[in-house]
C-alpha cells in the first residue's frame, strides 16, 4: 500500500472507532500521549488529520513523559512537535530509578514502569484540565491483552476502546482500536518518524506478551481474516452462551419437562441458531463516517453512480 492509500485506510478506521464509541465530542481538549514509538506518532497524525475534517471542534496537546532512561534523546520529540506546530508538554519524572530500585535485577520492568507512567500522565491530565487522554494502542494490542488475560489470568477481558479511569476522573480513549499493527508499522516507515526505542532502559521484553504477539502474527499468515473476526467477537458478545453466572442468570433457566412426563427433553438445551451466526461480523466496518471524512461520501456516491 502506498502512503496515500494507507493514510486513507488509517483515517477511515480511526474515524470509525471514534464514532462507534463516541470518543471525541465538541469542545474536547485531548492529551495525546506520545512515547516516541510508531503507534503514538501514527495516533497523533490521525488525530491531526481528523481535526481538520471532523464535524466537531477539539484541541490536541501532545504530552511526553521523560522517564529519565539512560540515553534518552531529549531533543527528538520537542524538535519534531515544534516542526509540526503541535502544542506540547514534556513531563519529567525519574520512574527509571524507581523501577530499578524496587525490582530485582533481571526482572521484567515493563509492568511497573507502565503503571508509574500512567500515574504521572493522569496527574498531568488533571492539572492541565484535559477532557480525554488518547493512547496509541492498536487492534493487535487489544487482542494480545485479551489472550494474555485468558491464558495467564483466567478471565475474559481485553483493553476497551474507551474507559473511565479507576479514580473516575479521566476518560481514556484508544482511537487506533480498529487499526492492525502492520498498518502502523508501514506508516511509520513511509513517514520516517523519528522513532525512539522503548528498550533504552535495558528491560527484557515481556516474554508472555511477545509469545502472544508471535501467535497472532502466525494466525494472520495462515488465515488473514482471523484477527478481524476475533476482534469483532469482542463487539458481539452473547452472555447466555458463556459460563459466567454473574453475567447471565443460569439458575432461573428451567427445563420444559412437566411432572407427568410431557415436554421436549431437548427444549432446555439452547442451540446456537443460524440466525445468530448470520449476525457474525462483516469483513468491513459499516459505520458511516462521511461527516468525519467528507471525501468518503464523495467516493461512495461516485462508486454508486459507476
Q: Which residues bind ligand SF4 (CB under 6 A)?
A: 69, 109-110, 113-114, 198-199, 201, 203
CA distance 14 to 174: 9
Where on the phi/psi map is residue 38: left (φ > 0), alpha (ψ -120 to 50), or beta? Answer: alpha
Give min distance, CB of 178 to ligand SF4, in A: 24
Residue 113 assigned ligand-binding role:
yes
- Residue, CB closest to ligand SF4: 113
Q: Which is nearer to ligand SF4, 36 or 161 (CB)?
A: 36
Q: Is 33 annotated as a binding residue?
A: no
In terms of CB distance, is 86 or 198 closer to ligand SF4?
198
Q: Exposure pattern of 97-126 as b/e (b: 16+ CB <10 Å)? A: ebbeeeeeeeeebbebbeebbbebbbebbe
**Closest distance between ligand SF4 and the C-beta of residue 110, in Å?**
3
Quote the least distance from Cβ 247 to ligand SF4, whole Å: 33
d(CA 94, CA 301): 54
Q: Taking the complex as a whole, how short is the minimal distance between the CB of residue 227 and ligand SF4, in angstroms?
A: 24
Closer CB to ligand SF4, 57 or 107, in the complex: 107
Query: Residue 277 CB, nearest distance to ligand SF4 (Å)?
Result: 40
DSSP state string for 181-228: HHHHHHHHHHHT-----GGGG-PPP-HHHHHHHHHHHHHHHH-TTHHH
Closer by beta carbon to ligand SF4, 204 or else 238: 204
Taking the least distance from each CB to ligand SF4, the nearer of 56 and 103 is 103
How far is residue 225's CA from residue 195's CA, in Å, rounded to a whole number?
A: 29
Q: Distance (Å, rounded) from C-alpha 301 to C-alpha 150? A: 44
Q: 132 pairs with which residues across the strands?
A: 30
| Binding-site residue ranges for [4Fe-4S] cluster | 110, 113, 201
Amino acid at each position: 500500500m502506498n502512503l496515500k492509500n494507507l493514510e486513507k485506510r488509517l483515517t477511515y478506521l480511526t474515524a470509525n472507532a471514534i464514532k462507534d464509541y463516541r470518543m471525541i465530542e465538541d469542545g474536547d481538549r485531548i492529551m495525546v500521549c506520545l512515547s516516541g514509538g510508531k503507534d503514538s506518532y501514527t495516533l497523533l497524525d490521525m488525530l491531526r488529520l481528523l481535526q481538520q475534517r471532523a464535524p466537531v471542534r477539539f484541541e490536541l496537546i501532545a504530552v511526553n513523559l521523560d522517564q529519565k532512561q539512560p540515553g534518552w534523546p531529549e531533543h527528538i520529540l520537542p524538535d519534531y512537535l515544534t516542526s509540526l506546530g503541535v502544542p506540547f508538554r514534556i513531563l519529567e519524572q525519574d520512574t527509571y530509578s524507581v523501577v530499578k530500585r524496587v525490582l530485582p535485577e533481571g526482572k521484567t520492568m515493563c509492568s511497573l514502569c507502565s503503571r508509574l507512567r500512567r500515574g504521572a500522565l493522569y496527574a498531568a491530565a488533571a492539572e492541565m484540565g484535559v477532557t480525554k487522554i488518547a493512547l496509541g494502542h492498536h487492534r493487535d494490542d487489544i487482542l494480545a491483552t485479551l489472550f494474555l488475560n485468558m491464558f495467564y489470568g483466567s478471565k475474559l477481558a481485553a483493553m476497551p476502546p474507551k474507559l473511565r479511569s479507576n479514580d473516575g476522573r479521566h476518560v481514556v480513549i484508544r482511537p487506533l482500536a480498529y487499526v492492525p499493527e502492520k498498518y502502523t508499522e508501514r506508516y511509520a516507515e513511509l513517514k520516517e518518524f523519528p522513532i525512539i526505542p522503548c528498550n533504552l532502559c535495558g528491560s527484557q521484553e515481556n516474554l508472555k506478551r511477545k509469545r502472544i504477539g508471535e501467535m497472532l502474527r502466525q494466525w494472520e499468515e495462515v488465515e488473514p481474516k482471523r484477527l478481524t473476526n476475533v476482534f469483532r467477537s469482542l463487539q458481539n458478545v452473547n452472555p447466555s452462551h458463556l459460563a459466567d453466572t454473574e453475567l447471565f442468570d443460569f439458575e432461573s433457566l428451567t427445563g420444559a419437562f412437566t411432572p407427568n412426563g410431557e415436554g421436549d427433553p431437548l427444549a432446555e438445551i439452547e442451540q446456537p441458531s443460524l440466525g445468530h451466526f448470520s449476525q457474525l461480523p462483516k469483513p468491513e466496518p459499516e459505520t458511516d463516517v462521511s461527516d468525519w471524512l467528507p471525501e468518503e461520501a464523495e467516493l461512495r456516491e461516485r462508486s454508486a453512480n459507476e
